[in-house]
């Protein structure tokens, strides 16, 4: 069978499958609660599938593999520690978040905790800007992959997949997102593990890969001999740098709105907590496999000039046709599963936290569902258009976004869950201070201290000091936040 027939066949079958799931979920979406959080009914398998699939984005499949290609095994050090810390924070807070009956968006957490609609609106705006930037990264990844996969122009690939995602999310809401994520998670895990196995076979296993990396040098990052095999990239990174960046990454993971929605949708607090714990061993092995693909490509194809395209190039040029097709499909699945989660969160915040507070205050459930669909279509379309001329590489945008988002959102969210004395004024000023200071540090600060950690520090100090001198939220209004 010609390779192009095989690839187009897989691609069409995959698109048909997600459209069928979208239509099925549309038939189920008869209420606002169903559309937003699937009536809080999901069990372990759907929750694990959606967590695995939404966690692995273009930043992972495209960006992390690119980082491993440029910097070797240090990919595991730089990003692995931060991911693990982020998983721990999510697991720690999952039961508290599931306990918030009536919460459907991340700004709901702030509004319920601090009893402030102005804080809700500010947080929703920050979330929406962040998610739109993140959408650009995902669309870029889709464009790279489909261009390599099917031989069609970057812009066409982005448009086909982008429109598909918008349609099935707008149709079926949270149920559509989760059920497609389960399918996408299965494809994604199988594809990456197959690629890892083939690469290891070509380089002589882990031992052969490590020995070859030990003699490699140069590359996009101009590492010294042995730098690719070193956990700190031959001195490019320091232990302090790893710890500081890991804290910033963990804070960002803790703030991702779809994970909050995932907890809201769980059938029980126990299931919400178990989701992260059951998923993280799979993710741990998955990221090692990504590192193998990136470092193996460095050994086998040392002259690739565009590191962001390394995974699609590996699947296209180093793998057998059938395995390469599965792997390229898995990359598309990984990115689509993140985009659909983003769009669902954005549409809900657009309608529930901004439109219903500023434009149409007596929004009926039917009208809110319509505005949610309208919002995710507008935001998804805007992100798609901006992706035609992206402002930087996937990892450049990812690193800037991580710094600003963690500084703006983490202080009020984390402290609010664990300190009763935190006030609305403290959370608001801490958020603004974190936002402003992280941007200023990105422009004028030193790289020795990452902007994210600097901004989080300023935000936490500001929140603490302002809370001490402002009126606290009455204990009886804190509800389930501090229930035993």
Beta bridge partners of 484: none
Residue pair 425/466 in contact (Cβ under 8 Å)? The answer is: yes
- Token pair 């209004």 is found at 477
Average pLDDT per 10 consecutive residues for the chain, totaling 484 residues: 74 77 69 73 82 76 85 89 90 87 87 90 87 77 75 80 79 74 80 89 90 83 85 85 83 86 86 87 90 90 79 82 79 75 84 89 84 87 79 60 81 92 94 90 78 88 95 80 69
Q: Which two tokens stand for residue 448?
A: 């020795």
| Rounded distance between C-alpha atoms, residue 460 and residue 453, angstroms | 10
Question: Dihedral angle at the C-alpha atoms of 383, 387, 388, 389, nearest 10 degrees?
Answer: 120
Provide the phi-psi class of 72: left if phi over 0, else alpha when psi is between -120 and 50, else beta: left
1 CA to centre of own chain: 37
Residue pair 135/380 in contact (Cβ under 8 Å)? The answer is: yes
CA-wise closest residue to 231 among 64, 83, 74: 74
| Rounded distance between C-alpha atoms, residue 257 and residue 265, angstroms | 13
| Rounded distance between C-alpha atoms, residue 223 and residue 228, angstroms | 7
pLDDT at residue 127, rounded to an integer? 84
**How much is the CA Rg of the chain, to the nearest whole Å?**
22
- DSSP per-residue codes, 27-71: HH--SHHHHHHGGG-B-HHHHHHHHHHHHS-HIIIIIIHHHHHHH
Neighbours of 62 (CB within 10 A): 31
| Rounded distance between C-alpha atoms, residue 8 and residue 5, angstroms | 5
Query: Which secondary structure element, helix H or strand E, spans residue 306, and what is its range?
Result: none
On the 0-12 / 13-18 / 19+ scale of CB atoms within 10 A, 30 is exposed
| Rounded distance between C-alpha atoms, residue 250 and residue 390, angstroms | 26
CA atoms within 13 A on the CB side of 359: 10
Neighbours of 479 (CB within 10 A): 13
pLDDT at residue 141, rounded to an integer? 73
DSSP reduced 3-state for 218: strand
- Token pair 């379309």 is found at 381
Provide the phi-psi class of 204: left if phi over 0, else alpha when psi is between -120 and 50, else beta: left
For each of the domains in the chain, give its residue range(s) and CATH number, in order of start.
3-403 (1.20.1730.10)
Beta bridge partners of 42: 266
| Rounded distance between C-alpha atoms, residue 61 and residue 310, angstroms | 10
For the entire predicted model, the pTM comes to: 0.83
| Rounded distance between C-alpha atoms, residue 178 and residue 40, angstroms | 12
Helix axes 117-150, 310-317, angle to 10 degrees: 30
Residue pair 142/383 in contact (Cβ under 8 Å)? The answer is: no
| Rounded distance between C-alpha atoms, residue 113 and residue 408, angstroms | 17
| Rounded distance between C-alpha atoms, residue 432 and residue 45, angstroms | 38
| Rounded distance between C-alpha atoms, residue 13 and residue 332, angstroms | 13
């Amino acid at each position: 069978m010609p390779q192009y027939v095989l690839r187009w066949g897989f691609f069409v079958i995959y698109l048909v499958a997600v459209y069928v799931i979208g239509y099925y979920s549309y038939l189920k979406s008869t209420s606002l609660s169903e559309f937003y959080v699937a009536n809080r009914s999901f069990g372990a398998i759907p929750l694990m599938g959606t967590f695995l699939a939404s966690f692995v984005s273009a930043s992972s499949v495209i960006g992390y593999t690119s980082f491993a290609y440029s910097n070797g095994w240090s990919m595991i050090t730089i990003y692995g520690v931060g991911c693990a810390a982020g998983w721990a924070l999510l697991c720690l807070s999952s039961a508290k978040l599931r306990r918030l009956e009536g919460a459907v968006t991340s700004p709901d957490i702030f509004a319920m905790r601090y009893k402030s609609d102005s804080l809700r609106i500010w947080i929703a705006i920050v979330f929406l800007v962040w998610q739109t930037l993140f959408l650009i990264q995902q669309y870029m990844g889709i464009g790279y992959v489909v261009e390599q996969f099917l031989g069609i122009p970057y812009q066409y690939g982005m448009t086909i997949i982008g429109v598909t995602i918008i349609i099935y999310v707008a149709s079926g809401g949270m149920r559509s997102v989760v059920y497609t994520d389960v399918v996408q998670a299965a494809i994604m895990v199988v594809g990456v593990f197959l690629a890892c196995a083939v690469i290891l076979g070509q380089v002589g296993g882990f031992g052969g890969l490590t020995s070859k990396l030990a003699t490699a040098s140069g590359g996009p990052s101009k590492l010294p001999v042995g730098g690719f095999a070193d956990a700190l990239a031959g001195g490019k990174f320091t232990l302090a740098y790893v710890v500081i960046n890991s804290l910033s990454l963990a804070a960002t993971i803790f703030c991702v709105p779809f994970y909050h929605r995932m907890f809201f949708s769980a059938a029980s607090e126990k299931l919400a907590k178990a989701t992260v714990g059951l998923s993280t061993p799979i993710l741990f092995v998955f990221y090692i496999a990504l590192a193998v693909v990136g470092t193996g490509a460095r050994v086998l194809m040392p002259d690739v000039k565009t590191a962001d395209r390394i995974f699609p190039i590996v699947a296209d040029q180093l793998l057998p046709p059938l395995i390469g097709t599965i792997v390229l499909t898995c990359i598309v699945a990984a990115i689509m599963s993140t985009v659909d989660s983003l769009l669902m969160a954005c549409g809900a915040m657009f309608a529930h936290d901004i439109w219903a507070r500023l434009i149409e205050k007596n929004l009926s459930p039917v009208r809110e569902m319509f505005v949610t669909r309208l919002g995710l279509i507008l935001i998804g379309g805007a992100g798609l258009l901006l992706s035609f001329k992206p402002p930087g590489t996937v990892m450049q945008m990812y690193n800037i976004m991580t710094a600003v988002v963690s500084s703006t959102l983490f202080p009020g969210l984390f402290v609010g869950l664990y300190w009763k004395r935190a006030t609305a004024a403290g959370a608001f000023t801490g958020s603004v201070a974190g936002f402003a200071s992280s941007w200023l540090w990105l422009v004028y600060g030193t790289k020795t201290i990452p902007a994210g950690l600097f901004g989080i520090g300023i935000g936490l100090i500001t929140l603490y000091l302002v809370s001490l001198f402002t009126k606290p939220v009455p204990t009886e209004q804190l509800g389930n936040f501090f229930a035993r």
